[in-house]
Amino acid sequence: MTPPSLRAPSPVRGDGMSLWYFPSRKWLKPNPHPNLLNAPSSLRAHAFCGQGASQWDGGGVRCPCSQLAGAVGWHVGPVGPSLWGSGSQISRCPESGVQGQGAQGSTMDPEISIMLQCPSPKGLAETEVQAELSPAYNRRQLPGGQAWIDAVWEARCSHSPWLFNGSKFRLHSAQLDGGSLTFRLGLTCYKDFLGTNRAGMARHLQQQGQQDFGDSQAYLAEPLGVGAMVHTADDCFIFLRRSLRVGEAPGLVDIPGGHPEPQAVVGDVPEESIRSEDLPRQMVVKEIFTSILREIRDEVNLSLPTLSQPVLLGIARNQTSAGRASAEFYVRCSLTSEQVKQRYEIGGPEAQESTGIIFIKREDVLTLEQTGEMWRELCPSAKGAVRLYTLVQGGGQ
């Protein structure tokens, strides 16, 4: 039976997200599930799932990712946060690995979700990660979709002539098996990312992908990003104020990050000629781990000998880019925050991407999501990394 404390009101917000109302606590919570936009207020939800289906007491579709027909409360599947129960009894959802909080303390942010969390507080080393590459993991082609992508790219380049296209790894999925993680990767490019994940039709593409393949991300570029929680010798973490000229999240606060590059694996092969079957698997894994060190070096101007080997904390999804995934790492730096600041002010190869550096003490990082003000300044990629760090290593080093 559906609890009376959970209702889906109408109309929805103008940004395309419906709101859930909890009368007993006067909460309004954003609902990121696109298929609930026109739900009448007379319906009450048994459960909804980020995979693209819902179970309603007024009739509807069964959630495909678990047996939720009689679930009490609210559920988001593997691509979203998780809360179960009614009243103040809210606990962990087994579908996503995200620990829910008590009702009064819940601070779930709809901009991010956790796709995968490393089970050990040590994270995963490069030797514990594998890659599986195949053209089968590339983006599905929607008839007529390329013309739209070309038009979006032309418009974006006209407005921002410094943009350039480049090949990227496409994250299809990831599997954690005991102490080993496998990335399933295809190939994509930045142009396709802007024309799918970052385009106005992203929601439509997700709905169509769910309908055609049972995969909301099937028609999306889904380039794999990387980011790092960089921990200084004096117990601070490094954040950067993004330039107003960057393509994503201008002016917001981020962590060092970017993308692993297929071009770095194959060398002089032209980008348009790169094939997934020509990429050595272990070299791809090495590029994923090495790329984040390059990004720290180029964005913060830190030499590689001052940085530890990265350990993988997990994978976070940016829901403002239609669920685009980023592998988030933890890296130690042997320098103090003052020494890092001095090197940052000298400037590195990618100094133009940020306008300032910010240091936050570890104890404050662990409560960023609860304290609010600084959290609202973070872009989604930084939010995902902070949440993963808190979940994986928040109990201590």
Determine contact, residues 236/304, Cβ cutoff 8 Å: no
- N- to C-terminal Cα separation, the chain: 44
DSSP state of 303: -
Domains of the chain: 1-108 (no CATH), 117-393 (3.90.79.10)
Rounded CA-CA distance 129/127 in Å is 6
**308-349, pLDDT tens digit by residue?**
999 999 999 999 999 999 999 999 999 999 999 999 999 999
* Predicted pLDDT of residue 298: 97
Query: Can you tell me which residue has the tokens 């959970």?
Result: 6
* Predicted pLDDT of residue 9: 33
pLDDT of 219 over the 70 cut: yes
**124-141, pLDDT tens digit by residue?**
999 999 999 999 999 999
Strand order of the sheet with strand 167-177?
Answer: 129-133, 180-189, 167-177
Strands 18-22 and 324-332: unpaired
Is the alpha carbon torsion for 213, 214, 216, 222 positive or negative? Answer: negative
Closest CA to 378 of 19, 140, 112, 193: 112
In this structure, how many other beta carbons lie within 10 angstroms of the beta carbon of residue 169? 29
Distant-in-sequence, close-in-space partners of 133: CB < 8 Å, separation ≥ 6? 185, 186, 276, 277, 279, 281, 284
**273-285, pLDDT tens digit by residue?**
999 989 999 999 9
pLDDT of 77 over the 80 cut: no
Could you tell me what percentage of the chain is helix, strand and coil, using 3-state DSSP and rounding each to the nearest 5? 30, 25, 45
- Average pLDDT, integer, range 38-53: 33
185 or 270: whose pLDDT is higher? 185
Cis peptide bond upstream of 270, omega within 30: no
Question: Which run of H or E residues covers position 54?
Answer: strand 53-56
144 or 16: whose pLDDT is higher? 144
* Predicted pLDDT of residue 190: 95
* Predicted pLDDT of residue 396: 59
Closest CA to 366 of 331, 391, 334: 391
Give the predicted TM-score (pTM) of the model: 0.74
Determine contact, residues 353/242, Cβ cutoff 8 Å: yes
